[in-house]
Amino acid sequence: MAVTRTELQGLKQEMPYKVRKGPKGSILAYIDARQAMDLLDEVCGPENWQCDYRQVKNVVYCGVGIFTESGWVWKWDAGDESNIDAEKGEASDAFKRAAVRWGVGRFLYSLGDVKKQQYKVPAPAAPKPAPKPAPKPALTDTRPEAPLTDAGRDNLTRICKETGWTGDHFKELLRDMDLTWKGLSNGDADALINYFVHEPKLPPI
């Protein structure tokens, strides 16, 4: 079902943010790529948005497409390595910049230099109680937020190797996307596979 103009306004909502040191002692607010993905899932639905990557003259570009009432609409932006966070990857940076074009995290630009005595990071929501496991589940849980199964990890590893990614590059990508191997979900695996397929060239470490 297409995402309406009214629903797209939800991408501009404020969300919990992190802070880091900026130039000349400033303190800057930011969100990570996974937060942007979670908001896109929440507002648009996992099936109504996607991302794609292109490399032009050694610069990584990311496009975020959303299925709107006018069909698929794409917004693109380029990434670069940050002088503030040396481990930040071009792919993650490009994705977040493309998401900003849809309004995700745009409120951060109005914060400017966030002074230590002024900012307050919203407290994380209380964890939901773990549901009681079914005695004999008949089917594998395929929801995007469900933990990735061993079979799913084997499939992810196979696609990683087939597209030319080494273990070290895969670990670097996980760090860029703020993910851990043990904490991967079905949605995380879909995002990684999409990146492997559309960006087969090995990124620099």
Main-chain phi, psi angles of 59, to 5 degrees: -115, 130
- Helix residue ranges, H only, 132-185: 150-162, 167-176
- What global pTM score does this model have? 0.52
Distances 194 to 90, 120, 129, 198, 200 between C-alpha atoms, Å: 16, 35, 31, 6, 10
What is the C-alpha to C-alpha distance for residues 200 and 193, in angstroms, rounded to an integer? 10
Lowest mean pLDDT among 3-17, 75-89, 114-128: 114-128
pLDDT score at 127: 75
Q: pLDDT-derived band of residue 138, with 50, 70 and 90 as boundaries? A: very low
On whether the 1-125 domain is CATH 3.30.390.80, my answer is yes
In the structure, what pLDDT confidence band is assigned to residue 123 with cuts at 50, 70 and 90? Answer: low
| Better-predicted residue by pLDDT, 195 or 147 | 147
Give percent of the chain above pLDDT 90: 34
Q: Compute the average pLDDT of residues 76-99.
A: 76
Higher-pLDDT residue of 123, 171: 171
Answer whether residue 1 shows pLDDT above 70. yes
Q: How far apart are CA 27 and CA 119, in angstroms?
A: 10
Nearest 5 degrees, angle CA 190-CA 32-CA 103?
90
Q: What percent of the chain has pLDDT over 70?
A: 79
pLDDT tens for residues 27-51?
888 899 999 999 999 999 999 999 9
